[in-house]
Structure 1
Amino acid sequence: MGIFQRLYDRFGKPSAPAAELQPFLQRHPPSAGLTPATADQLARYADHLPAPLLALWQQHGFGFYGQRLVQLIDPDVYRDNLWGWLMRDEPDMDRLPIALSAMGTIFYYRKLSEDGDEDVSFLNPHTSESGCTVWSLAQFFNEWLGEADNLADYLHAKELDAMAARAGPLARDQMYFHEPALRLGGDGSLAHIARGSAPVHLDLLLQLATS
């Protein structure tokens, strides 16, 4: 059975799953240039990620939402890095990266049981700080990403314009980072913000953290 039919059977019509995340879309509208997920990508994650997120991928796509505050990411590109941070020796499809902040904080979905228990957790690659945001994917998108303190503390909403002025606006799969890295003595100031490939820099930060 195709993923589109499975979404239809589960929610009644193709648009219904993404409608569950409508508060998120209203608060953080999709930017231009998003890349919708392919049928292969949707099928690959159909048994591992909630249908509302898959529908969001299908109907809008990977890329920036909310004036580049948050980037929805292709797990194919980031999952090996996340599993490295989590010290997984083998693939763990119950831990999948789904979003990225401008500074590279990874937000990942955790399937905690077959009974529907779940959460969305975060990992800061600059400091290795990690934790749970909320115990529901819908709550993460519709509520947690709407709270001013979370936008300031985790998504750098107050510094985003200054970082863009300093290092240039982000393109897809890019992030801002400290140069030098905090683990190499960087001071974390705006004067030392740089911009580059998120997959490449996340791998560099992982190597620094585990060396």
Structure 2
Amino acid sequence: MFDRLVLPFRRLALHRFIAEHPPSRQVSRADSELVAAYEGILPASLLELWRRKGLGFYGEMQLALIDPRPWQAVLNRWIISPPDDVRRIPIALTPFGVLLYYRKLTATDEDVVFIDPVSKRTSDLAWSLDEFFNRFLCDRQSLESLISPALVRSAREECGALSSGEVYEIDQMLFSMQMLRIAKVDAFEIHRRLRDAVDPPRPTAEKPTTVADALPVEYRPGFEDVAAGQGLTGLYLSSYIDWHRLLALRADGRYNLLFWRIHHRTLERVEVRFYSGAYETSRNAQGDEIVELDIRLRTDSLGGDDNDDRLVVMHSGGTSFLLRVHDLDDIATAIDGWNEMGHSEYYFRRVTLDEAFDEEPSDGRAAPPFADLPHALQALVHVEPLRTTITHVADPNLDEEDDGEGTVMCTLDLGEDDGLRFNMPLYSPPDTGRHLKGWIREMAPHACKVGVQYRRGEDGTIEHGPVIGDILTTRAPDESLSG
């Protein structure tokens, strides 16, 4: 007989925080791209929490752990510092919009700081990230100095629980007269509005009319001598909201890649990053043409700057596109669901400097015909939508965030091996007469789990929600895939 090997159980470094403030059912694990983007930048304990538990609301106080990337520009507007100053990374948001951020001060020193968009106050909360989560947030007196339990209770009674991306806003004029009025608002919007009230930005640059106009002036010469030639030589533009990337493929096998943002109010070209190097073209096993960029990240690189290192070529409608191989799954999910290309950051389109600088739809343009898609993408797209059946529905009563509506986890009879993907949206087919919607939240080979929205009636019973036997499909209602 052999003794059974017993592996030691290892708790998360931030286990005390989790025990005191359990994650809500809406918390979802961070993807590998996000975790990799902050390896060596944020403490390993926080990355472990992202990876094993996730981002979203924790505890009755509805403290939200956030993706730093979309919040970085918000924080940078509040705190303007020299480029070589200490890096500040937003990590969490209180239910009233107070933004918490992390600083690595020296090789051995760090802290967690808050900035209140209402009072404009900022101050240290703890001198290490682990101390902030495991001590400050677990000590009642300390926590209540940051988040008032009485105000949270009043807000929930008046407005209900927060959804992702929301915070509570108190009417400050009425509050000064000892009257309380609270509303749920978009978290980004309240920060933008309150920051603009302090220092309203005015245009200081010209609105671009051509692609050349949109470029930062000092970088235009690096793209002016690149003309469209035989094969893939030429310029390719990717625009997502106010972020832009311009790629030049030169005939000599060299590339230039420019990142920049056009500020929505000042129109200044900001947050500029420039890369150059060699590129190679090849063909994959399916015959698609592939462009590989040799991207060497710099110290000021942001997470995802190297996501353009592999691009697959697509020709459709007289235009050439370069699709990021890194995002082919997401492109396929968007084509499956609503016949669009997905976020416009997923691809480049061929341009010239003198053509009009048109705004690309942020959710992506209409998908081209299936026959135009690269073979690597065709293999991921379901021409006929997948139909899956719910085999188990968890008990919504276990959901601590239940306030008349929420998301309940359901088990499906299909899984990753059958073509389902993480974060893939699922819908009730029109022929079922149901109107359910959910997203794949947990992966498994043949039985993925999907979070499906539900709603209770006035008597507390579920009047709209999933049941065993419900059919869900990968195609949004009224959408069909072009042939």
Distance change in 2, residues 1:40/1:93 (3 Å): farther
| Map of 1:169 onto structure 2 | 161
Inter-partner Cα distance in structure 2 for 1:25 and 1:34: 12
Inter-partner Cα distance in structure 1 for 2:95 and 2:196: 20
| Map of 1:25 onto structure 2 | 18
Q: Structure 1 stretches (4+) deviating beyond 4 angstroms? A: 89-93
The reply to whether residue 84 of structure 1 matches residue 77 of structure 2 is yes
Inter-partner Cα distance in structure 2 for 1:92 and 1:102: 29
Inter-partner Cα distance in structure 2 for 1:68 and 1:89: 35
The reply to whether residue 37 of structure 1 matches residue 37 of structure 2 is no
Structure 1: gaps (5+ residues): 1-12
Q: So what's the TM-score if we normalise by structure 2?
A: 0.38
| Map of 2:149 onto structure 1 | 157
User: How far apart are residue 27 of structure 1 and its match?
Assistant: 0.7
The reply to whether residue 200 of structure 1 matches residue 170 of structure 2 is no
Q: Is the 8 A contact 1:75 1:96 kept in 2?
A: yes
Inter-partner Cα distance in structure 2 for 1:130 and 1:167: 27
Worse-superposed segment, 94-103 or 185-194: 185-194
Inter-partner Cα distance in structure 2 for 1:54 and 1:64: 16
User: How far apart are residue 192 of structure 1 and its match?
Assistant: 2.0
Distance change in 2, residues 1:27/1:190 (3 Å): farther
Distance change in 2, residues 1:84/1:43 (3 Å): same
Letter in structure 2 aligned against 1:197: D
| Map of 1:120 onto structure 2 | 112
Q: Deviations over 1:89-139 (max 9, x none)?
A: 7597820111111101111001101x1210000111101111001101000
Q: So what's the TM-score if we normalise by structure 1?
A: 0.83
User: How far apart are residue 201 of structure 1 and its match?
Assistant: 1.3
Worse-superposed segment, 48-57 or 150-159: 150-159
Letter in structure 2 aligned against 1:187: F
| Map of 1:139 onto structure 2 | 131
**What does 1:88-103 correspond to in 2, within 5 Å?**
88=81, 94-103=87-96
| Map of 2:220 onto structure 1 | none
Letter in structure 1 aligned against 2:199: T
Q: Is the 8 A contact 2:98 2:114 kept in 1?
A: yes
**What does 1:96-111 correspond to in 2, within 5 Å?**
96-111=89-104
Coordinate RMSD, CA, aligned: 2.2
**What does 1:173-184 correspond to in 2, within 5 Å?**
173-179=165-171, 182=172
Q: Is the 8 A contact 2:57 2:64 kept in 1?
A: yes
Q: Deviations over 1:176-210 (max 9, x none)?
A: 1133xx4xx45355632111111121111111122
| Map of 1:210 onto structure 2 | 199
SS for the counterpart of 2:57 is strand
Q: Deviations over 1:112-168 (max 9, x none)?
A: 01x121000011110111100110100000000012222222112222121111122
Distance change in 2, residues 1:89/1:168 (3 Å): farther
**What does 1:57-68 correspond to in 2, within 5 Å?**
57-68=50-61
Between the two proteins, what is the percent identity of the paired residues? 31
Letter in structure 1 aligned against 2:60: Q
Inter-partner Cα distance in structure 1 for 2:86 and 2:160: 34
Letter in structure 1 aligned against 2:118: H
Q: Is the 8 A contact 2:28 2:53 kept in 1?
A: yes
| Map of 2:175 onto structure 1 | 187
| Map of 2:270 onto structure 1 | none
Letter in structure 2 aligned against 1:118: E
Number of residue pairs the alignment of both structures matches? 192
Please identify the structure whose Cα radius of gyration is greater. Answer: 2
SS for the counterpart of 2:60 is coil
Q: Is the 8 A contact 1:48 1:93 kept in 2?
A: no
Inter-partner Cα distance in structure 2 for 1:62 and 1:90: 28
SS for the counterpart of 1:160 is helix
User: How far apart are residue 69 of structure 1 and its match?
Assistant: 3.2
SS for the counterpart of 2:35 is helix
SS for the counterpart of 1:108 is strand
The reply to whether residue 55 of structure 1 matches residue 48 of structure 2 is yes
Inter-partner Cα distance in structure 2 for 1:69 and 1:91: 34
Letter in structure 2 aligned against 1:126: V
Q: Is the 8 A contact 1:112 1:118 kept in 2?
A: yes
